[in-house]
Amino acid sequence: MSIWFLLNALLLLWAIWNVSLGISSYSSYIHILLGFAGFLLFIFNWTRNAVFSTIRNAKTRHAKVRLARMSKQIRPYHRWVGSSALVMVVLHGLAIIHLYGFDLTNMKILTGFLASLNMMVLVLSGWYRLLIDPRIRIRKLHIRLGISMFILVAIHFLF
């Protein structure tokens, strides 16, 4: 099993903890649910990275084939899930701006803004790779954007 499975699981548990605290302390919590929905869609897509890592490190051919088949079944939905995550994150951001204003001195808003910009480029790079240029350079960019998205989301949860 890849280290990414563990990191994804830890981030998911942390997100559930943050959401449960947020729902219990705010009277209006639609912004929290929108952000959590976007996060769930992102982490679902990002778990494919863990699957690919596990395929590379698997000892038996049977395990590699099983994981590759599972990933192949999910692949047609990958871009649509990512695009839906972007929509949820944008709605989350609009709800936050409506409730609290756009104050980039607030670290929670700043990290969320940076994460949303990163997600926008991440989704665009995925579609660009599908429709225009499938070179390895774009794939590496897409993976690096996914890693930075993971880190930015974790930092966003800190504040």
Task: Give the span between the Cα atoms of 119 and 125, in whole angstroms.
Answer: 10
**What would the two tokens of residue 120 be?**
């926008």
Please give the residue range of the domain that contains residue 69.
3-158
CA distance 58 to 54: 6
Angstrom distance (rounded) from CA 139 to CA 126: 8
pTM of the model: 0.92
Tell me how many domains the chain contains: 1
Pair 104, 111: CB distance under 8 Å: no
Q: Return averaged pLDDT per consecutive 10 residues of the chain, 159 residues in all.
A: 88 95 84 96 92 86 91 91 98 96 95 98 96 94 96 96
d(CA 69, CA 109): 39
